[in-house]
Amino acid sequence: MKLEDEIKSSFRNEYHKALVNLYYTNTVVGEQFFVLLKKHGLAAPQFNVLRILKGASQATSIGSIKERMLDKNSDVSRIVDRLYKKGLVKRKESTTDRRLKDVQITSDGLKLLDELSIFEKYENEILSNLNTEEVELLNHLLDKIRDTKNVRK
């Protein structure tokens, strides 16, 4: 369905429409994901931290986690504190700097990610109406948008 029909609106121009379309599509795609996370007592940034830690080969610093976060404005220390209280991560003093803490996912954290693997099936279905060439083009265009000098970082 066309965006105009979905949100019953018109746009200044195609650029405006594209930006609204990006935002709206992100919201639609994310809704089911957020509902699934909420059922398991997680917020999206917490899930992001758990996935980062799962992919790490060893305990990881807060700074390293922050660099890999999807939302760069996340308060990683606070997110880790919440995950720690839930028993999903463990913290230990850094071997290189006693002022820093290294974080590692626990077996309970890994178990929760396994339960949430149903979302991976959903992730695979989201773009199933696009062929490989279209997905590659979409990735290229999204990368190009982020590379624009006008995008604030």
Taking the domains of the chain in order of start, what are their residue ranges? 1-39, 43-112, 117-153
**Is the per-residue pLDDT at 120 higher than 80?**
no
> Which residues have C-beta within 8 Å of that of residue 24, sequence separation ≥ 6?
3, 6, 7
pLDDT of 23 reads 92
pLDDT of residue 9 exceeding 80: yes
- Cα–Cα distance for residue pair 73/89, rounded to 1 Å: 21
Q: What is the pLDDT of residue 149?
A: 63
Q: Give bridge partners of residue 90 from the DSSP assignment.
A: 104
Q: Two tokens at 71?
A: 């939302």
Question: How many Å apart are CA 48 and CA 55, to the nearest integer?
Answer: 11
pLDDT at 78 over 60: yes
Within 8 A by CB and 6+ apart from 90, the residues are: 84, 103, 104, 106
Query: Among the CATH numbers 1.10.10.10, 3.30.56.10, 3.90.470.20, 2.70.160.11, which is that of 43-112?
Result: 1.10.10.10
